[in-house]
Each structure stands twice: as C-alpha cells, then as structure tokens.
Amino acid sequence: MLKKIGLSLLAVVVLLAVVSFFLPSTVKVERSTVVKASAETVFNQVNTFKAWEGWSPWKEQDAQMTTEYSGSEAGAGAVSTWKSPKMGDGSQTIVASTPFSTITTELDFGRGNKPTCNWKFEQTPEGTKVSWDFIVDLGMNPIARYMGLMMNNAIGASYEKGLDNLKKVCESMPTTAAVTTEANATATTEQTTTTTK
C-alpha cells in the first residue's frame, strides 16, 4: 500500500516537472494610466528614488521598511536599497534614463535572475500616459515557472496602487502643468500581461 502511494506521488512530481517545461520562461506584467500633468512632472517623480517615498505602494504595505539611497541623485546610476521584515530585502538601480520619455531599472533580490522594469511617458491630449512593466526570465526552474503564473495578480495589484498614488501626487502639485480632458473623463488604469516561451 505504502509502495503504491509512494509511486503515485512520484508520478505526480514527475508530471508537474514535465508540465513546467511547457510553461512560459519569461513573464511580463504591465500597467498604465493617464495622469493630468506634464510628462516632465511625472518623469521627475520616477527618475528620483527619494520621490518614491511619496507614492510607492510598498511603503504602505510595510511601515517598518527602511530605505537607503546611493549613487546618483537621479537618473542612471541612482540606487535604492531597502530592508523589509514583511517583503524581504533588495535593491533597485536606474540603468537607463531618457528625459521625459523612458526609464529602465534593474531589481536585485539577492537570488535568482534580476528582473527589469521599464517606464514610458507619452504626452497625449488627455495628459501623460504612464506605462510601467516588470519583466523577468524564470529560466529552467520549474518552481519559478509555476510562480510566474501568479505574478500578474501579485505584482499587478501593487503596480495599480503605485500608479494611482503617483497620479494623485502629480495632479495635486501646485506647479503641475495640468491637462483638462474634453469630456472630463476619469482616466482608468489599463492592464496588460504578456508571457513568452
């Protein structure tokens, strides 16, 4: 009886391992919103890590999180390092920055591959469309590939909250170059999730 149970469990493990090889090895999660402010205003809030304290979704999730800054004050070379009892430790570095257009950062959680995040700022008649994505190569790790299936919800919710906070901060700034929409419509957060093998 025990032998049959053992063989059944082994068969399940082998099956899960085989299935994992057909799961996406790369995951991309993306969220976007429209902010009634100039691209310069929104860009500067992201390009300076110290400014993240005013809208970062993770600060709200862990009041005990501590953050240190090093490298450049803003733009390429700026580094943010955090310690969090709830969410773990890590760092983020701005590796590329094109004024008022794009920003690319690299995350380091001390293990696994380093995810990259891309920001895009597009001026539109309604305001500035801000897109924020998260891309990670999961490699051949079967457990990581299964976890990748949950990243859209896990990361997406934080991204949505962060963009909402960023929108409120930028639109409440007295010097913001606000943009009035013709229909006074409220910008809604869009979501896109892409997975590739």
**Residue pLDDT, tens place only, 4-48:** 565 455 444 444 444 434 445 578 889 999 999 999 999 999 999
Predicted TM-score (pTM) of the model is 0.76
Task: Give pLDDT < 50 ranges for the chain.
Answer: 7, 10-23, 145-146, 176-189, 191-197
Q: How would you class 26 by CB atoms within 10 Å of its CB: exposed for 0-12, middle for 13-18, buried for 19 or more?
A: middle
Q: Which CATH superfamily is domain 24-196 in?
A: START domain (3.30.530.20)
Q: Tell me the DSSP string of 15-30.
A: HHHHHHTTS-SEEEEE
pLDDT of res. 141? 65
Report phi then psi at 137, rounded to 5. -95, 115
Write the single-letter amino acid at 147.
M
The domain segmentation of the chain, as residue ranges, is: 24-196
